[in-house]
Amino acid sequence: MQRKWWKEAVVYQIYPKSFMDSNGDGIGDLPGIISKLNYLKELGISVIWFSPLYQSPNKDNGYDISDYQAIQESFGTMEDFDRMLDEAHKRGIKIVMDLVVNHTSDQHQWFIESKKSKDNPYRDYYIWKDPKDGKEPTNWGGCFGGSAWQYDGETEQYYLHQFAIGQPDLNWENAVVRKEVFDMMNWWCEKGIDGFRMDVISLISKPDVYEDGPINTEDGYSAVGAITANGPRVHEYLKMMNEEVLSKYDLLTVGETSGVTTEEAKQYAGFNTGELNMVFQFEHMDVDSDEHGKWTMKQLYLPALKEIMSKWQTELADQAWNSLYWDNHDQPRIVSRWGNDSEQYRVISAKMLATCLHMMQGTPYIYQGEELGMTNYPFTEIEQADDIEIINNYHTYVEEKGIYTHEQMMEIISRKGRDNARTPMQWNDSENAGFSTGIPWLGVNPNYTVINAESQIHDKDSVFSYYKELIRLRKEHDIIVYGKYELLYPQDEKLYVFTRTLEEKKLLVVCNFSKDTVELPEDLKKQTGMNKGILIQNYSDESEVLRPYEAIVYWV
Ligand code: GLC
Ligand code: CA
C-alpha cells in the first residue's frame, strides 16, 4: 500500500464560532483559535479542518458564503488568518478549509447580479427555471424543509436552493462557474493551505431532466438530496477540479457525500481515479433513524452498525481510502448517542467509542470537545436552539403536523439536533466554561464545571489523555493505519470485535458497547488468553470478563 501523509494523519475539526472567543463578543474567533494551538499540539493531531471562516450572513452558520476570499468579520481579518496559518505550520499542524461550492449565500455578489435580470451575465451562475402551471418547477423539497425552489417576482422565475432559501445552488453546468471556483481554490492553495473538506460535493451535478420525484418528506415534497446525489456529471467535475487545482498541490481532500455507496466511493476516492483522497459516507449516521428520519428516538442496534462499518472497511480496502468519524458539527455528541453519558459511564464509554473508531483503517476525524467526552445539551425550549434545521423541523413536527408534542420534540432535539455539537467548547470551570467573557452565542452546556479541558490535560486517566494516546499509537504503529480489517462475531449485540493484520503482526480489538458485564465467547477467550501484550485498554487492570463499556486492544 502506498504511504501518504493524509492516510497517517489525525484530523481535528474546529467549529470556529464555538471554539474560543478572544474579545468577549460571545463568538469564537481566529485570535482565540491561535491561543489554543498549543492545546492541539499537546493532543497530537496533525491537521485542523475549519468549518467555514469566510464572510457570510450566517443563515446556516457560515455554510452560506457571500465572499470566498474574505474572512467573516466576527472571526477576525485575513491577517489573523495568515497568522493562524503560520502559527499552525510552525507547530507542524496542517490546515484544511471547508469548501462550500454547491451553493453560495444569496448575498454573494454573483447572486445579487444574477437576480437582477434574465440577461444579466451572472444569470447562468445559478439555476433558474420557469414556473410550471403557475407553481414550482418540480416538487423537490429542501434539506431544511419546505420547497427547494424560491420564486423571484421581479424576473418571474424560480431559483433552486437545496438548503436554506439564502443558499442558492450554483450552476456547475456553466464552465465559467467552474473556472471561478477553481481559481478561488488555487488562490487558497497559493496561500499555503493544505487541503479541502468539500461540503455536499455529491450534490453539485443536477439531473439532466428536472421532473417530479416520489413524495417522501414529512411536509409533502420529494427530498431533493436523493434526486441530486451522485448526479450524472459529478465525477467529470471532480476530475476537472483535480486537474485544475488538486493535482498541483500536496493536499488532503475529503468530500462530504451523503447518499454515497461503496461503489460510488471507489470512484470518488479511488487510488487511481484522479478525484479525491476520501469521502465522508453517511450510512452509519442513519442506523438510528426511522420513519421520521433522524427525528426519531431509535436505539442503536449494534449488528447493524457493525455491518455498515465493516462493509466500508472491506470494500474500500486496497482501492480507496476511508474517513472515520463519529462526530461533527451536524451530529449529536457520540458519548450521548451510542455511549452512556451518565456520571458513572461517561468517561469509560467515551474511551471505548474512541478505541473502536481509531483502531479502524482510514483517517480519523475528531470533532472539538469529543476528546473531552463532551455530551449533548439538555434542550427544553426551542428558543435555546439556533440551528435552522432544528427550528424548521420543530415547526413542522410540533406546530404544523402535530406529530410530536413540544416535550417529545425537545427530547429528540436533545438527542439528535445539530446544536448539541455546536455549544461552546468547555475549556475550564470558570464562567461560560472559559469560552468567552461575554454572552456566548449559544448556551454553554451546564456540565462544564465537571467536563472541561483544564481538568483533563494533566489527568492521565482522562478522555483527553486517552485520545492523546490513541493518536500517538497511530503514529507509532503502521498496522493501525494500513492493517487489513476483519470483523468477528457479526451478530453479537453487545460486542464489537475485529482484527487488524499487517504482515506477521496482528491486533485484536474488543469493545463492549453495552453497560452489561459480558462473557467472552470461548474461542475468543483462547486468543485473548494467549495474547502477546496489550496495546491499549480503557480499564486499568485485566479481568476474566468484559466490564461495562470495556475496550481492549491485544497483540495476538
Ligand atoms: C453540509 C454541512 C452542513 C450545512 C450543509 C449546507 O451538510 O455540513 O452544516 O448545513 O452542508 O451547506
Ligand atoms: Ca469573538
Kind and range of the H or E element at 364?
strand 363-367
- What number is the average pLDDT over the span 429-433? 98
Give the number of the atom of ligand 1 that is nearest the alpha carbon of residue 418.
Answer: 9
Residue 420 CB-density burial (10 A; 0-12 exposed, 13-18 middle, 19+ buried):
buried
Please check the confidence at residue 542 and state whether its pLDDT lies above 90: no
Ligand 1, atom 2: nearest CA belongs to which residue? 199
Ligand 2 centroid to Cα of residue 164, in Å, is: 25
Amino acid 128 reads: W
CA distance 32 to 424: 12
CA distance 394 to 161: 21
**Closest ligand (CA of 27):** 2
Nearest to 491 by CA among 521, 449, 466: 521
**Closest ligand (CA of 35):** 2
How confident is the model over 335-391, as pLDDT tens digits? Answer: 999 999 999 999 999 999 999 999 999 999 999 999 999 999 999 999 999 999 999
Distances (CA, A) of 120 to 115, 248, 341: 8, 34, 55
Secondary structure letter of residue 214 according to DSSP: -
With pLDDT > 90 as the criterion, what percentage of the chain qualifies? 98
* Secondary structure (H, E, C), 234-255: HHHHHHHHHHHCHHHCCCEEEE
Please check the confidence at residue 480 and state whether its pLDDT lies above 80: yes
Kind and range of the H or E element at 410?
helix 406-416
Question: Is residue 12 a contact partner of residue 47, using CB atoms and an 8 Å limit?
Answer: yes
Q: Decide the pairing of beta strands 278-280 and 94-99.
A: unpaired
Give the number of the atom of ligand 1 that is nearest the alpha carbon of residue 389.
Answer: 10
Kind and range of the H or E element at 475?
helix 463-476
Ligand 2 centroid to Cα of residue 434, in Å, is: 13
Ligand 1, atom 9: nearest CA belongs to which residue? 330
Question: Is residue 170 a contact partner of residue 125, using CB atoms and an 8 Å limit?
Answer: yes
The mean predicted confidence, pLDDT, of the chain is 97
User: Coil, strand or helix: which one is 191?
Assistant: helix
Ligand 2 centroid to Cα of residue 3, in Å, is: 40
Give the number of the atom of ligand 1 that is nearest the alpha carbon of residue 144.
Answer: 10
Please check the confidence at residue 308 and state whether its pLDDT lies above 80: yes
Ligand 2 centroid to Cα of residue 382, in Å, is: 25
DSSP line for 303-328: HHHHHHHHHHHHHHTTTBEEEE-S--
- At residue 218, the pLDDT reads 87
Active site residues: 199, 256
**Three-point CA angle 390, 327, 273, nearest 5°:** 110
How confident is the model over 159-213, as pLDDT tens digits? Answer: 999 999 999 999 999 999 999 999 999 999 999 999 999 999 999 999 999 999 9
CA distance 500 to 508: 7
- At residue 490, the pLDDT reads 98
How confident is the model over 103-118, as pLDDT tens digits? Answer: 999 999 999 999 999 9
Q: Kindly report which listed range (27-36, 49-58, 320-329, 536-545) carries the lowest average pLDDT score.
A: 536-545
**Closest ligand (CA of 29):** 2
Ligand 1 centroid to Cα of residue 63, in Å, is: 6
CA distance 264 to 270: 9
Question: Is residue 351 a contact partner of residue 466, using CB atoms and an 8 Å limit?
Answer: yes
Q: Taking each helix axis as running N to C, give the angle between helix 463-476 and helix 346-358, from 0 to 180 degrees, rounded to the nearest 10.
A: 20
Give the number of the atom of ligand 1 that is nearest the alpha carbon of residue 100.
Answer: 12
Cell of 312: 466500508
Binding-site residues, ligand 1, Cβ < 6 A: 60, 63, 100, 163, 199-200, 256, 329-330
Nearest to 28 by CA among 386, 425, 419: 425
CA distance 263 to 439: 47
Cell of 454: 483544564
Predicted structure pTM score: 0.98
Ligand 1, atom 4: nearest CA belongs to which residue? 63
Kind and range of the H or E element at 115?
helix 109-116
- At residue 263, the pLDDT reads 97
